[in-house]
Structure 1
Amino acid sequence: MVNLKAKPFYLNDQQICWVEQSIKSMSLEEKLGQLFVIMTYLPGVDESGIKNELDTWHQGGLRWQRKTADETYEQNRLYQKHSRIPLLIAANCDTGGAECVPDGTYVATAAQAAAGADPVTAYHIGLTSARESGSIGANWLFNPVCDIYLNWRNTIVNTRSFGENPDTVLDMARAYIRGVRDSGFSMACTAKHFPGDGTEERDQHLVMGCNDLNAEDWENSFGKVYRGLIEDGIESIMVGHICQPALSRKFLPGIRDEEILPATLSPELLIGMLRGELGFNGLIVTDATQMIGFNAVMPRQKALPAAIAAGCDMLLFTNDTAEDMAYLRAGVENGIITSERLDEALMRILGLKARLGLNEGYNYPAPEIREKYIGCAEHLLFRKEAADRCITLVKDTQELLPIDPVGKRIFLVYEHNIPNSRAYQGDKTKDLLKEELEAVGFAVDICPTFYDLEVENGVSFHNFLTMMDKGSREAFKSKYDLVLLVLNFTGYAQTNEVRITWSTDHSIDQPWYLAEVPTVAISLNLTNHLIDVPQAKTFINAYGSKQENIHAAVEKMIGKSTFTGKAEDNVFCDRWETRL
């Protein structure tokens, strides 16, 4: 059975008694409910709906859709009020509190933190995340991300990873956790996504991921990170829908290719490697079970009980909750989930709750705590400091910087994701860029985009013709002193790899101007855009589209501030010409 006195639980006899008695008091339906972290879709704050949900499903954990801080605070309070067994309320905070609630604070991405070298930014992300999520009732962070950015094509972990060096990833993950520990909130952390993302370019939201390192290389990279965090006492580990063939073959010699499964369904990876060789005693939770990496490998009816049987303790999200509960019930009835395995999972779930003090009832944070932390001046200062510390000059082989803005006219080319909704009315980041550039003395003309022309003029072939018209080269060179190409591409779960997408073909925004007028390229998110604009001889990674990031990038471009961020080798995308 589970040793709840050992790391990471450290429970006393009274807490262990609460865990054991709580399990004994549960019906089978209540036990199965504890295995789920359910995403609430209830609109607004509906106390009767919340009570009915808890009385029906008895879930062990909760995640929520984005609501205001006030709504989320009250919603989470009511969930705890009406839950017989206090809930693990989870938040996903890669960059700060902004991922919890719209009014929370974005501090920085993991890639940005790593560029700053000093772990202080990672510490500030963890501190802000815990304060802001804790103040609205969360007690479990699905962080830090411990993936290693080994493949430059991988845009899922490009900004979410602390980089390509395992030692840096471990140091930054530890700094994030220190921030959480120093927040004043009782908060569990989660290392993710075991056995590790970042070795290939595919997205487990869309396909079963594959960490294809050999066993020795895995041990020296991802193994080093997980061993370190387990030794430190990380409370939970999120398992990805990612296979690791070398480790599967290590524990199961002779396993056939068609038998290799993602870690969420692989006993050899969870019980053999994670529990056995790595010695992890804490809670194992799956990544989201809506992902194709989970659902495409076997029918959901089999996959859900198989995940618990393989060693997962909790399942993240439901599809049809009644149906998913029935699948688990059938798994118990047909022996896929043994009573011993079920009780083991429950021991860890309730053990984590006791570790957080939930056995004594939930001491919900006072409203003034929320008002103190959400979007506070100190957290906003962290964002400003991170921008100044981490923004990176990747290259300036034409020795263009710094640029004196006086008397200079810029042609501003702003590229972003293809709009996927008719609600699109333009991207305000472009206006923010123009304001920041004009504030330091540049004159700015904005290059049109096909999307914006369609919004302004309606659907018309003339919009395409306008985008095709580049005009005279000599006139362009006479008019503009500088082109500023700004790239702001984000996204996941729609395509396996995000690349630059120009607004239409053969258009004025495409980089024909690189050889005509001095050009500075700036990325506001992904760090690997040199693969698509290798001829850009001055390239800056600004890591974010917040005003602080844009302001700091402009200040550094004109020499009022020094570039101190450091680029890893992956930014050059394994190409010689990107370095020129």
Structure 2
Amino acid sequence: MTAAATALLMTGTGVMTGVGAAVAAPTTERTTTVAASPDIEAMISGMSLDEKIGQMTWTHVYGSSADDTSMAASNQERYGVDTPAEVVAKYNLGGVLYFAWSGNTNNPQQVAGLSNGLQQVALGRDGTGIPLAVTIDQEGGLVARIGSPATVLPGNMALGATADADLARAQGEILGSEMRAMGINVDFAPVLDLNSNPDNPVIGIRSMGEDPALVSALGVAQIDGLQEHNVGAAAKHFPGHGDTSVDSHYGLPTVTYDRETLNQHLKPFKAAIDGGVDMVMTAHIIVEAIDPEMPGTLSHKVLTGLLRDELGFKGLVTTDALDMAAMAAEWPQEEIAVKAIQAGSDILLNSPDVDASFAGVRAAVGSGEITESRLDESVRRILEWKVRRGVFEQPLADPATVDKLVGTAGNLATANLISDHAVTLLRNQERVLPLASGSSVLMVGAGSGRPEIAGPMLKEQGFTVTEDYENGSSPSAAYRARAVAAAGNVDAVVFTSYNAGANAAQQQMVAELAATGTPVIVVATRNPYDISVFPGADAVLNSYGVNKVNFHGVVRAISGAINPGGKLPVNIPKADGDGVLLPLGFGLRYDTTTPAAVTFTDRPGKGQDSYLVPSVEGVAYLVEGKEIAAGTYRKPAGTVSVTAVPMKGYVFTDGATTEWSHTFTTGTPQTLNSEPLVRVTPPGSSSVRP
């Protein structure tokens, strides 16, 4: 870890540097930074103007292999050619960008094959061409272009809830090792935006939180992990997209806060720069404190004045995707390309009209608006980065190792560990949780909250589960009525909510379920603010996502297999917006208790035999499955086995002894026999009283 990261961990608010269980190192064949040094100046001097523009142009292609013609219509519409290979060749691209919707990410082996095919096109038949930056948005969680069997992670806000830099670095290492194995050498991650606006429609759980120290420390740790595997990380979205109420995919947001507030949003970016991040991605937002006229992507004041001159960033600057409405709906592509370069960007990412982008830059060079030496600066930085990250030395993936390195058991275990540490308990009235083993549960919820994933997982935890699901985010009247009717027949209701603050139907359904008198447990699966609109819920937990890995920690917390330890990485405002309901860092835990040992006395003659059951708060002792009171039990016969289980609302400490057994004799005197060990509770696996 860098010195900057270490310093942040020493000073950051509530940031932990260790975890309760060991983090498995990703299975990988690490690529070290290479010393291969092609003559970059000679390469630049030998390039045509179009080749220089091409090196600065990174865009997506349609298809699953270099010569795939199945999406030729899409390639033709956008680029005028049929195949991914032809797109690379036509523009002499400096980089490609993978998406699932463009057919690029079907499975790890296919991704590696596509990467290799495109690299071979860029290198040329003689192998002397310039290899590609192969890029992706694989943040983990909500934004992940490659799914299973690659490792699915709980996401950044879940990571923020752990406040654990070791887990953050582990997440970065998983992403770095798996992407590099598939031939990807740039991951547009991590998101360093502070999600300080609960109404933010585009960042939300993609953020690690709103505390600058927390996001800085976890961000630098992720960057270290990614770049350890020679995958360039990109801090985004500079200078901060976390306080917007407009999604820049659909419009141009403006933030109106003062420079002092902006400085808080800049702290994670400054930490990333000091920590050696390779790239910074711009935000398509107007930051009035710096430039009230132009969005960051097109602002010289933001990209050169603030990012390069004030913060001292020397690496690569890339635009966010230029086909987003914040750009494409405001300016023609010719103008966008020119303004982005003039502002200080090195990379024109995903222009919707590459031909127009090229034409605009050509014309600007011809008129003197942009000098060719300015393009040389960006091309030089791009080529130097490709050398530093081993792209020249090792451009190709090894297909034989993909299955060994992607989605490994160790990586999957680390993802589950993040989930276990992230689950955040915000309310637990009358010690509803953990539920008693064998309880009957009604599993329902907003369809967008994916209750159908949680139901079977609760069954695996030993609950009797009645399942009723409906598609969509707004539960219908009929669905609500069915759930209310079923609630009277179960011990508890589990309801998955999804951004319920703006959804009256979800709020109504939870209120109606609560009115039945059956305990209602809400799992808030998206942004963490739902508790403010569920005053009737008996318990509320945050999962920070709807993937199976997010529910891993939740269902284990509901059963008591783990004691929830996540802490809010954001403030939760009251429903009316007047003040804070729950503060940053809030999180409940179950009461913890440790059983005392059962002791056995075995003396000559049965009349003197006995065993003593102690009295311990939160502990029940069972013999043959039936609870017995504390005290001395005389004249036992044969073998007596006593089991300890936690009472409602309690969990056992890790490693607690939970079962004792002794066989009494009727003849020869025995020495005092105390607490023969039969079962010990393993870490993170407390059982719950039936």
TM-score category, normalised to shorter length: 0.7 to 0.9
- Post-superposition offset of 1:376: 0.9
* Structure 2 letter corresponding to 1:341: R
In structure 1, C-alpha distance between the alignment counterparts of 2:96 and 2:321, rounded to whole Å: 13
Q: Is the 8 A contact 1:469 1:508 kept in 2?
A: no
98-107 vs 115-124, which deviates more?
A: 98-107
2:199 to 153, 160, 168: 153
Q: Which residue pairs with 2:326 in the alignment? A: 293
Q: Percent sequence identity over matched residues?
A: 26
Quick check: 1:32 aligned with 2:76?
no
Q: Which residue pairs with 1:56 in the alignment? A: 90
Classify 1:201/1:234 alpha carbon distance in 2 versus 1 (closer, same or farther; 3 Å): same
Q: Which residue pairs with 2:217 in the alignment? A: 171
In structure 1, C-alpha distance between the alignment counterparts of 2:423 and 2:215, rounded to whole Å: 18
Q: Secondary structure at the match of 1:332?
A: helix
- Post-superposition offset of 1:403: 2.0
- Post-superposition offset of 1:384: 1.5
Q: Secondary structure at the match of 1:290?
A: coil
Q: Which residue pairs with 2:253 in the alignment? A: 209
1:437 to 455, 458, 470: 458
Q: Secondary structure at the match of 1:190?
A: strand
- Post-superposition offset of 1:35: 1.4
* Structure 2 letter corresponding to 1:310: A
- How many residue pairs are counted as aligned between the two chains? 523
Classify 1:567/1:468 alpha carbon distance in 2 versus 1 (closer, same or farther; 3 Å): closer
- Post-superposition offset of 1:112: 0.7
- Post-superposition offset of 1:451: 5.8
Q: Secondary structure at the match of 2:302?
A: helix
Structure 1: unaligned runs, 5 residues or longer: 1-10, 249-256, 418-426, 454-462, 490-497
Q: Which residue pairs with 2:167 in the alignment? A: 121
- Post-superposition offset of 1:60: 0.7
Q: Secondary structure at the match of 1:189?
A: strand
- Post-superposition offset of 1:156: 2.2
Classify 1:390/1:289 alpha carbon distance in 2 versus 1 (closer, same or farther; 3 Å): same
Classify 1:295/1:404 alpha carbon distance in 2 versus 1 (closer, same or farther; 3 Å): same
In structure 2, C-alpha distance between the alignment counterparts of 1:316 and 1:42, rounded to whole Å: 18
- Post-superposition offset of 1:114: 1.2
35-44 vs 322-331, which deviates more?
A: 322-331
Quick check: 1:382 aligned with 2:414?
yes
20-29 vs 568-577, which deviates more?
A: 568-577
Q: Is the 8 A contact 1:93 1:141 kept in 2?
A: yes
Classify 1:335/1:154 alpha carbon distance in 2 versus 1 (closer, same or farther; 3 Å): same
Quick check: 1:338 aligned with 2:339?
no
Q: Is the 8 A contact 2:494 2:521 kept in 1?
A: yes
In structure 2, C-alpha distance between the alignment counterparts of 1:534 and 1:201, rounded to whole Å: 26
Classify 1:435/1:102 alpha carbon distance in 2 versus 1 (closer, same or farther; 3 Å): closer
Quick check: 1:315 aligned with 2:348?
yes
- Post-superposition offset of 1:565: 0.8
- Post-superposition offset of 1:579: 5.7
Matching of residues 552-567 of structure 1 within 5 Å: 552-567=553-568
Quick check: 1:524 aligned with 2:525?
yes
Q: Which residue pairs with 1:495 in the alignment? A: none
1:413 to 444, 454, 462: 444
Q: Which residue pairs with 1:190 in the alignment? A: 234
- Post-superposition offset of 1:56: 1.1
* Structure 1 letter corresponding to 2:442: F
In structure 1, C-alpha distance between the alignment counterparts of 2:542 and 2:133, rounded to whole Å: 37
Q: Which residue pairs with 2:673 in the alignment? A: none
Which structure has more RCO (C-alpha within 8 Å, separation ≥ 6)?
1
Q: Is the 8 A contact 1:108 1:125 kept in 2?
A: no
The CA deviation string for residues 176-233 of structure 1, in whole angstroms up to 9 with x for no partner, is 1221244xx32221111001011122211112123333112222x1232222221222
- Post-superposition offset of 1:577: 9.2
Q: Which residue pairs with 1:69 in the alignment? A: 108
Structure 2: unaligned runs, 5 residues or longer: 1-32, 69-81, 100-104, 123-128, 584-690
Quick check: 1:223 aligned with 2:266?
yes
Q: Which residue pairs with 2:134 in the alignment? A: 89
In structure 1, C-alpha distance between the alignment counterparts of 2:44 and 2:62, rounded to whole Å: 28
In structure 2, C-alpha distance between the alignment counterparts of 1:12 and 1:452, rounded to whole Å: 50
285-294 vs 226-235, which deviates more?
A: 226-235
- Post-superposition offset of 1:294: 1.4
- Post-superposition offset of 1:62: 0.9
Q: Secondary structure at the match of 1:213?
A: coil
Q: Is the 8 A contact 2:161 2:568 kept in 1?
A: yes
Classify 1:485/1:32 alpha carbon distance in 2 versus 1 (closer, same or farther; 3 Å): same
Q: Is the 8 A contact 1:499 1:529 kept in 2?
A: yes
1:199 to 227, 243, 250: 243
Q: Is the 8 A contact 2:155 2:205 kept in 1?
A: yes
The CA deviation string for residues 337-358 of structure 1, in whole angstroms up to 9 with x for no partner, is 2223212211211121122233
Q: Secondary structure at the match of 1:284?
A: strand
30-39 vs 329-338, which deviates more?
A: 329-338
In structure 2, C-alpha distance between the alignment counterparts of 1:101 and 1:464, rounded to whole Å: 31
In structure 2, C-alpha distance between the alignment counterparts of 1:12 and 1:554, rounded to whole Å: 45
User: Which of these two proteins has the greater Rg computed from alpha carbons?
Assistant: 2
Q: Which residue pairs with 2:590 in the alignment? A: none
In structure 1, C-alpha distance between the alignment counterparts of 2:85 and 2:471, rounded to whole Å: 49
In structure 2, C-alpha distance between the alignment counterparts of 1:98 and 1:241, rounded to whole Å: 21
In structure 1, C-alpha distance between the alignment counterparts of 2:480 and 2:239, rounded to whole Å: 47
The CA deviation string for residues 447-503 of structure 1, in whole angstroms up to 9 with x for no partner, is 4536699xxxxxxxxx977447469x7x666423322111256xxxxxxxx96647x
In structure 2, C-alpha distance between the alignment counterparts of 1:79 and 1:470, rounded to whole Å: 54
The CA deviation string for residues 154-180 of structure 1, in whole angstroms up to 9 with x for no partner, is 242221111111011110011112212
Classify 1:147/1:381 alpha carbon distance in 2 versus 1 (closer, same or farther; 3 Å): same
In structure 2, C-alpha distance between the alignment counterparts of 1:477 and 1:280, rounded to whole Å: 58
Classify 1:532/1:333 alpha carbon distance in 2 versus 1 (closer, same or farther; 3 Å): farther
Q: Is the 8 A contact 2:441 2:490 kept in 1?
A: yes
Q: Secondary structure at the match of 2:88?
A: helix
Quick check: 1:279 aligned with 2:325?
no
Q: Is the 8 A contact 1:150 1:164 kept in 2?
A: yes
- Post-superposition offset of 1:118: 1.6
**TM-score using structure 1 length:** 0.82
Q: Is the 8 A contact 1:33 1:59 kept in 2?
A: yes
In structure 1, C-alpha distance between the alignment counterparts of 2:580 and 2:213, rounded to whole Å: 29
The CA deviation string for residues 403-431 of structure 1, in whole angstroms up to 9 with x for no partner, is 2143x4333222133xxxxxxxxx9x434
* Structure 1 letter corresponding to 2:440: R
- Post-superposition offset of 1:93: 1.8
Q: Secondary structure at the match of 2:572?
A: helix
In structure 1, C-alpha distance between the alignment counterparts of 2:419 and 2:237, rounded to whole Å: 27
* Structure 2 letter corresponding to 1:158: G
Quick check: 1:540 aligned with 2:541?
yes
Q: CA RMSD in A?
A: 3.1
Q: Which has the higher helix share?
A: 1
In structure 1, C-alpha distance between the alignment counterparts of 2:554 and 2:480, rounded to whole Å: 30
Classify 1:570/1:155 alpha carbon distance in 2 versus 1 (closer, same or farther; 3 Å): farther
Classify 1:464/1:200 alpha carbon distance in 2 versus 1 (closer, same or farther; 3 Å): closer
Matching of residues 391-406 of structure 1 within 5 Å: 391-406=423-438
The CA deviation string for residues 292-339 of structure 1, in whole angstroms up to 9 with x for no partner, is 111233232312211111111111112133233223222322333222
2:386 to 324, 349, 353: 353
Classify 1:476/1:224 alpha carbon distance in 2 versus 1 (closer, same or farther; 3 Å): closer
- Post-superposition offset of 1:442: 3.2
* Structure 1 letter corresponding to 2:358: M
In structure 2, C-alpha distance between the alignment counterparts of 1:54 and 1:542, rounded to whole Å: 41
Q: Is the 8 A contact 1:108 1:383 kept in 2?
A: yes
* Structure 2 letter corresponding to 1:68: N
In structure 2, C-alpha distance between the alignment counterparts of 1:501 and 1:452, rounded to whole Å: 8
